[in-house]
């Protein structure tokens, strides 16, 4: 066990707890050398499970399928360090073996094109959650940066029904306000917001308002907190600021509905250069440049900060990973 430069109590708890990151955008452009060591860094920070992005809106079925092939090989080539998991039992088994459990997700629903039949195929290939719309409108609904949010489409409602049927988690990250609220109404099982922050603390379209948090929690869902400064406000990407956002959710709906979705970008300068070329998707002046983020090696300090603020062990274990384990255990089939 590493002490991670934190107190013995915090280090022991962090090492013993199930630590789960619901969002790792591994497909962002960047250095091959940095990507090569990414899983080692994630595991070294005490994480037991990480969900990696395979595709994003703008990619069709063929492109998403190719990414799925690429990253199944990526994990297989590192089988001494990590393993693809498809159930919560698989997560526990991977942990027993000392392996990082890896799950898959889509940031958007474009890979399903206009045919909800593709949901089951991708689910069987390991995709365990998909968010409704990534910043812009699509066939399902509207993203958070669109000028007008017209809500879920009829196709979107049908797609959610199919996701519920097969066990794929419905995700409202990056999604517009109205589309998000209508998604919570449409889903027959808990929906989540995998990676966001609190808009009362940082007024950014990527963050969510209190009534969105309440709607998610009332359905049994979980909201994941990111580590990017543009969505944190205040003093930016520090453990204390992330816990400010966690604490806001806890005070609003309780500790059972918040987790980690760090959205850590392994090569931030390359990502910022990339987003500068896509002003419609990443509007200039919206905090997508000059960003900072909590480095993976600092993640154990979140545990220390939760202890410092008086959180009990049970609640900390929930926030670090058991809340995600619960909701995925309810939905995955």
Q: Which residues contact 152 (CB under 8 A, 6 or more apart)?
A: 132, 140, 141, 160, 179, 182, 183, 186
The tokens 């998000």 sit on which residue?
Answer: 180
pLDDT of residue 285: 87
Is residue 204 a contact partner of residue 230, using CB atoms and an 8 Å limit? yes
Q: How do 223-225 and 258-260 pair as beta strands? A: parallel
- Which CATH superfamily is 8-331 part of? Metal-dependent hydrolases (3.20.20.140)
What percent of the chain is predicted at pLDDT more than 70?
100
How far is CA 233 from each of CA 176, 210, 289, 302, rounded to the nearest angstrom?
A: 20, 16, 14, 17
Cα radius of gyration rounded to whole Å, the chain: 18
Is the pLDDT at 9 greater than 90, yes or no? yes
Is the pLDDT at 40 greater than 80, yes or no? yes
Q: What are phi and psi of 235, to 5 degrees?
A: -85, 5
Is the pLDDT at 120 greater than 90, yes or no? yes
In DSSP terms, which residues pair with 258 in a beta bridge? 223
Is the pLDDT at 1 greater than 80, yes or no? no
In tens, the pLDDT along 252-281 reads: 999 999 999 999 999 999 999 999 999 999
- 3-state secondary structure at position 195: strand
Work out the pLDDT band at 3, boundaries 50, 70, 90. confident
Average of per-residue pLDDT across 208-225: 98
Is the pLDDT at 59 greater than 90, yes or no? yes
Domain residue spans of the chain: 8-331
Tokens of 3: 């002490």
Segment among 53-57, 150-154, 164-168, 269-273 with least mean pLDDT: 269-273
pTM of the prediction?
0.97
Q: Which residues contact 3 (CB under 8 A, 6 or more apart)?
A: 11
In tens, the pLDDT along 84-111 reads: 999 999 999 999 999 999 999 999 999 9
Mean pLDDT of the chain: 97
Residue 226 per-residue DSSP state: P
């Amino acid at each position: 066990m590493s002490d991670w430069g934190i107190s013995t109590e915090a280090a022991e708890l962090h090492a013993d707890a199930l630590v789960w990151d619901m969002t790792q955008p591994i497909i962002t452009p960047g250095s091959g050398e940095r990507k090569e060591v990414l899983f080692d860094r994630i595991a070294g920070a005490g994480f037991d499970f990480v969900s990696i992005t395979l595709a994003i809106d703008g990619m069709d079925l063929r492109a998403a399928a190719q990414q799925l092939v690429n990253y199944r090989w990526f994990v297989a080539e590192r089988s001494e360090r990590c393993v693809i998991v498809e159930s919560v039992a698989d997560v526990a088994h991977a942990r027993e073996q000392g392996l990082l459990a890896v799950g898959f997700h889509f940031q958007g629903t474009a890979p399903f094109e206009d045919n909800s039949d593709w949901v089951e195929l991708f689910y069987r290939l390991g995709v365990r959650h998909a968010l409704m719309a990534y910043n812009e409108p699509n066939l399902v609904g509207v993203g958070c940066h669109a000028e007008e949010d017209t809500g879920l489409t009829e196709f979107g409602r049908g797609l959610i029904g199919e996701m519920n049927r097969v066990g794929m988690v419905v995700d409202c990250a990056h999604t517009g306000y109205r589309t998000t609220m209508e998604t919570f109404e449409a889903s027959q099982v808990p929906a989540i917001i995998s990676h966001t922050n609190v808009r009362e603390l940082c007024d950014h379209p990527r963050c969510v308002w209190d009534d969105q948090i309440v709607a998610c929690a009332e359905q049994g869902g979980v909201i994941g907190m990111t580590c990017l400064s543009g969505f944190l406000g205040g003093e930016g990407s520090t453990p204390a600021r992330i816990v400010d956002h966690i604490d806001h959710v806890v005070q609003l709906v309780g500790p059972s509905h918040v987790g980690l979705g760090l959205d850590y970008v392994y090569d931030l300068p390359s990502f910022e250069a990339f987003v500068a070329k896509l002003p419609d998707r990443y509007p200039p002046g919206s905090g997508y440049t000059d960003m900072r983020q909590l480095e993976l090696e600092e993640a154990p300090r979140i545990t220390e900060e939760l202890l410092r603020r008086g959180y009990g062990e049970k609640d900390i274990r929930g926030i670090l990973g058991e809340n995600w384990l619960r909701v995925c255990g309810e939905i995955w089939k």
